[in-house]
Amino acid sequence: MATILSVASGKGGVGKSMVVSNLGLLLSRKGKKVILVDLDIGGANLHILFGMFHPHSTLTDFLTNRTKTLEEAAHPINTISHLKLIPGTGETLITSNLQHAKKKRLIRHLQKLDADIVLVDVGAGTSYHTLDFFLLADYYLSVATPDPTSVLDLYRFIKLAAIRKVLTAFLARDPVSETLLNQDFHSVSDVLESVGRTSESGMAVAQEALKDFKPALILNRMTPKARINTLQLQQLLKQYVGTTLAVVGNIPEDTQVHDSILKYLPVVDFAPKSPSAQAFHQLSENIFSLISQPRERNREEMIEEPRKLRA
Ligand SMILES: Nc1ncnc2c1ncn2[C@@H]1O[C@H](COP(=O)(O)OP(=O)(O)OP(=O)(O)O)[C@@H](O)[C@H]1O
Ligand SMILES: [Mg+2]
């Protein structure tokens, strides 16, 4: 079974797709079969980063049942390094309003892909789709730049993902889920308190759901003055989510990144000696050792949801 890693951010344009393309390429060069999946619904462009302009099959073909398996939409990028890409969808109503059943089928197929590593670009924002795609993984990666708005948006994203994870653990359970659904939560401890009030076992279920919720952070476009914002993010998360983010990568601001995108090549191949390429090698080492450690799988199974929470 493949190890799934999801890559998300609160704010758009912070470098997720650039990270996915470079990290995927380097992991595949370590001898792993890697599939990149573009689940940035409505904003898919990962294929463009590899100069693939008109892929003959995409996620849309799978979602509209034109292809039976998700595997059929996987295009080899570099056959030597075992790297494939499943291009995302364009702006279609079917995908922007992805029905629950289709989302379940997609997640089921993702989990069965024939690969060692599946790297999922989940796009920006905090829609239920994005949160669910983020949570379906074995390992959660988040990307932020030192820009204060990016840090704040990432904090919001992680908080909502944690809340969604706890709620998902309760969705099949009444009366707890009904009570939870009618509330707006500001922090994970709010959820835990509320759960504790409505069900004796609730607190234990919630704590279990959050036990392994440890997203890792990739800082992108870093400059020497950026440190203070990261500290603030860590403090906010500790206080309101009860988790911290381990920093697994630190990618500098680098004009070569921009140039590499114009040439449709990951920067690690376009400018192998550039500061960002060097940083990507360190990141891929860190990710490689992270996923090589034995650990219980903590994948979010999608369960039946009460209608109100369906996206
Ligand atoms: N380290 C960097 N140094 C310089 N420029 C960068 C760096 N990282 C990203 N960029 C610039 O930011 C742009 C956006 O990157 P990318 O498309 O990967 O972001 P994204 O988070 O996937 O965006 P979206 O949310 O729209 O999907 C790139 O085209 C590039 O010009
Ligand atoms: Mg993107």
pLDDT tens track for 214-237: 999 999 999 887 776 778 888 888
Find the range with the poorest average confidence among 101-105, 202-206, 291-295, 306-310: 306-310
The residue with greater pLDDT, 61 or 92, is: 61
The Cα–Cα gap between 76 and 53 comes to 14
CB-CB contact of 133 with 302 (8 Å): no
Phi, psi of 123 (to 5 degrees): 80, 180
The Cα–Cα gap between 186 and 104 comes to 28
Q: Which tens digits make up the pLDDT trace of 123-169?
A: 888 888 899 899 989 999 999 998 889 988 999 999 999 988 888 88
pLDDT of 203 strictly over 90:
no
The Cα–Cα gap between 213 and 37 comes to 22
Q: Which ligand is the nearest neighbour of the Cα of 150?
A: 1
pLDDT of 296 strictly over 60:
no
Q: Which of 66-70, 179-183, 256-260 has the highest mean pLDDT?
A: 256-260
Nearest-atom number in ligand 1 for the CA of 40 is 27
- pLDDT tier at 307 (50, 70, 90 boundaries)? very low
Which residue blocks in 184-303 are alpha helix, DSSP H?
Answer: 188-198, 202-211, 227-240, 255-262, 267-270, 275-292
Closest C-alpha among 173, 245, 184 to residue 208: 173
The average pLDDT across 207-218 equals 88
Residue owning tokens 């922007």: 96
For residue 51 and ligand 1, the question of a CB distance below 6 A is answered with no
The residue with greater pLDDT, 132 or 176, is: 132
The per-residue pLDDT of the chain, averaged, comes to: 85
Which residue blocks in 112-214 are alpha helix, DSSP H?
Answer: 128-135, 148-170, 176-181, 188-198, 202-211
* Minimal-distance CA residue to ligand 1 atom 16: 15
Q: Which tens digits make up the pLDDT trace of 29-70?
A: 999 999 999 998 878 899 999 999 989 899 989 988 888 999
The residue with greater pLDDT, 99 or 267, is: 267
Which pLDDT does position 181 carry in this prediction? 62
Which pLDDT does position 303 carry in this prediction? 39
Beta bridge partners of 252: 222
Distance 250 CA to ligand 1 centre (A): 14
pLDDT of 298 strictly over 60:
no
Token couple for 259: 């140039």
For residue 253 and ligand 1, the question of a CB distance below 6 A is answered with yes
- pLDDT tier at 193 (50, 70, 90 boundaries)? confident
* Minimal-distance CA residue to ligand 1 atom 25: 12
pLDDT > 90 in the chain, percent: 48
Nearest-atom number in ligand 1 for the CA of 261 is 29
The residue with greater pLDDT, 63 or 174, is: 63
Closest C-alpha among 260, 215, 239, 220 to residue 11: 220
Provide the pairing of β-strand 216-222 with 83-86.
unpaired
The average pLDDT across 79-103 equals 76
Q: What is the DSSP track for 9-78? A: ESSTTSSHHHHHHHHHHHHHHTT--EEEEE--TT---HHHHTT--S-SS-HHHHHTTSSSSGGGG-EEEE
Q: Which tens digits make up the pLDDT trace of 5-22?
A: 999 999 999 999 999 999
Q: Best substitution site from 6, 7, 11, 17 to test ligand 1's pocket, by max atoms within 8 Å of Cβ?
A: 17
Nearest-atom number in ligand 1 for the CA of 21 is 18
Which pLDDT does position 279 carry in this prediction? 98
The average pLDDT across 288-307 equals 63
CB-CB contact of 103 with 129 (8 Å): yes
Distance 17 CA to ligand 1 centre (A): 7
Find the range with the poorest average confidence among 155-159, 188-192, 194-198, 200-204: 194-198
pLDDT of 95 strictly over 90:
no
Which pLDDT does position 311 carry in this prediction? 39
Phi-psi sector, 15: left (phi>0), alpha (psi -120 to 50), beta: left
Which pLDDT does position 300 carry in this prediction? 52
Distance 179 CA to ligand 2 centre (A): 36
Nearest-atom number in ligand 1 for the CA of 43 is 27
Tell me which H or E stretch contains 307.
none
**Spans of all domains in the chain:** 3-298
pLDDT of 285 strictly over 70:
yes
pLDDT > 70 in the chain, percent: 86
The fold adopted by the segment(s) 3-298 is: Rossmann fold (3.40.50)
